[in-house]
Amino acid sequence: NAGVTQTPKFRVLKTGQSMTLLCAQDMNHEYMYWYRQDPGMGLRLIHYSVGEGTTAKGEVPDGYNVSRLKKQNFLLGLESAAPSQTSVYFCASSTWGSGATDTQYFGPGTRLTVL
Amino acid sequence: RKEVEQDPGPFNVPEGATVAFNCTYSNSASQSFFWYRQDCRKEPKLLMSVYSSGNEDGRFTAQLNRASQYISLLIRDSKLSDSATYLCVVGRNTGGFKTIFGAGTRLFVKA
């Protein structure tokens, strides 16, 4: 039981390049989330999903797209990376229903640098 | 003003000390409250949920004051292994789904 996994762990991009971050969970959770964490800012929600085939915008969605084609996977895409997207990205999942009131389980994070 | 505010610290305490963290939230519609722990360069992990009646887990005690809109975490008999950043988290489903993380309070426990 791996919990929540993320790939890659590290990545360096040049401005304008694109990439996809993959999150996978093996806990059969309905809800999945993508956050970014910047110094002094706390975690901020980018996008989330309440089930397979659904996605919704969070607090800071601009510049990102997501897809949830399978229940266990949640992909975060950057179409044209900008230096402002340099951050640590965390994926999380939670069980069901109310989402905001459930315990969230986090992946180990992806450290992205955009030059 | 941030919706969830914490003292960033750092708090530097000796082993065995008692340390308290406070967190305030601005939205009275908030429904759920948590403390998460985050070690350096690692992911956040749930430390404990916070209930209106207060709750305790070993050396850790969490309190919620809805009237004043603040949450507290008390750590007794601090251990070196308690050194980490403690995140206050507030959630609600009214007015849209929202989970708000505080920026965290850093704790260093020294021998």
Q: What is the length of chain B?
A: 111
> A111: exposed, middle or buried (C-beta count within 10 Å: 0-12, 13-18, 19+)?
middle
Contacts of A44 in chain B (CB under 8 A): 101
pLDDT digits (tens, 9 = 90+) for B4-56: 999 989 999 999 999 999 999 999 988 889 999 999 989 999 999 998 888 99
R_g over Cα of chain A: 13
Instruction: Give tens-digit pLDDT for A61-98.
Output: 999 999 999 999 999 999 999 999 999 999 999 876 55
A100 pLDDT higher than 60: no
DSSP symbols for B42-87:
S-EEEEEE--TT-EEETTEEEEEETTTTEEEEEE-S--GGG-EEEE
- Which pLDDT value is given to residue A98? 53
Across the interface, do A40 and B31 touch by the CB < 8 Å criterion?
Answer: no
Q: Determine the average pLDDT of the residues in B69-93.
A: 95
Q: Tell if the CB–CB gap between B42 and A109 is shorter than 8 Å.
A: yes
Across the interface, do B93 and A109 touch by the CB < 8 Å criterion? Answer: no
Paired with B14 in beta bridges are B110
The answer, for B51 touching chain A at a CB cutoff of 8 Å, is no
Q: Which two tokens stand for residue B5?
A: 């505010």
Q: Model confidence over A39-50: pLDDT tens digits? A: 878 899 999 998
